[in-house]
Structure 1
Amino acid sequence: MTSGFKTTSNYYLELMTNFPPRPISNEEELIATQKRINSILDKGQLNQDEKDYLRVLGMLVYEYEEKYEPIPKLEGVELLKAMIEEDNLQPKDFGRVSRVRNILEGKREITEEEKANLVCLIK
């Protein structure tokens, strides 16, 4: 009878032994896990064992961040401001400079169509 799992390679066991995946419960563990992920990614071309191992570590990081560091839901003007700050954009990058400036300065409301366009830009 088979278990349905692939035979585990010695290299995969080595990865698991050197940095055993465990649920992340604090910032220190998160940083250590991210450093481990980066050290593997820095190698460049990854083999299947490394990809599988990174997938496990990535799920642990995702689980921690969803629980302890949720991404705030931004809409409308707040989303526009966040995009400008995060991507170092200028009102001219959105097309209609005066319209964007008026929205940012609170002189004009953002329309539903403009909100939808912002959402499309980030997807």
Structure 2
Amino acid sequence: MPLARRRLLIGNRAHQRFPTTFPARLQQAGHLIDVEVVDISIRGARIRPHATIIRLAVGLRMTLMADGLLVDGEVTRRVDDEYGLHFDRDIEPLKAVRANYRAPPAPRAATRSNPSEQ
């Protein structure tokens, strides 16, 4: 499918983004920053640092690390407390989402009171 047609179908983006939420880390010059991956695609991700005092400069080179994911990239934009990270190579976004999926805790069964205590 031509790129122009594909961009029309997925909101003027070159690659489809997959909404998600999983923890990851950014590494830059030996420093580790805990982040949340908010969405991910073949060539990038939107991330949110856990510490709101963290400010990443556009153009900064970093490595994104999570279960089943290790990719170098560059910070390309900042909007409020979220950042765009463009990857140096293609990844399999759904594989990364699945590797980092955390099932919600099972609901607790209602406890019955002991009839002999009534």
TM normalised by structure 1 equals 0.22
Greater share of strand:
2
Q: Which has the larger radius of gyration?
A: 1
TM normalised by structure 2 equals 0.22
Greater share of helix:
1
